Amino acid sequence: MAWVRIDDDFFSHPKVVHAWSICPTSIGLWPMTAAAAGRHLTDGYVTGDFVRQLMPRTRQRDQAVSALVDTGLWVPNGTGWQIHDWQDYNESRERVLKRRKADAMRKRPR
């Protein structure tokens, strides 16, 4: 099971409050994409295809994405976005894989 850390002050962070005021849907999109990034070990990278899957209606999707980008919660990166400060709160793909390998070695029967 993968875990994603979200600051318990998330709800009152100025960027989050501002994004909420622009487009409340963006604050639903953010944790869904963070959870997916954690699950798939993308180091906080969110693909455009994944966002289109979650939000097929173009206008609603564009408003939510714009709110996240305009407030600095997401940073444009190629064909998607990088969740700002991902590695300040979450382990990198490399570190997760190393930890999993070490755990498997430790648990393996002797």
Report domain extents, the chain: 10-107
Average of pLDDT values for 67-71? 98
**Is residue 1 predicted with pLDDT exceeding 70?**
no
pLDDT at 92: 86
Per DSSP, what are the bridge partners of residue 83?
A: 74
Where b means 16+ CB within 10 Å and e means fewer, 34-72 reads bebbbeebbbbbbbeebbeeebeeeeebebbbebbbebe
- Per-residue pLDDT tens over the stretch 43-53: 999 999 999 99
Q: How high does pLDDT run on average in the chain? A: 93
What is the C-alpha to C-alpha distance for residues 45 and 83, in angstroms, rounded to an integer?
A: 6
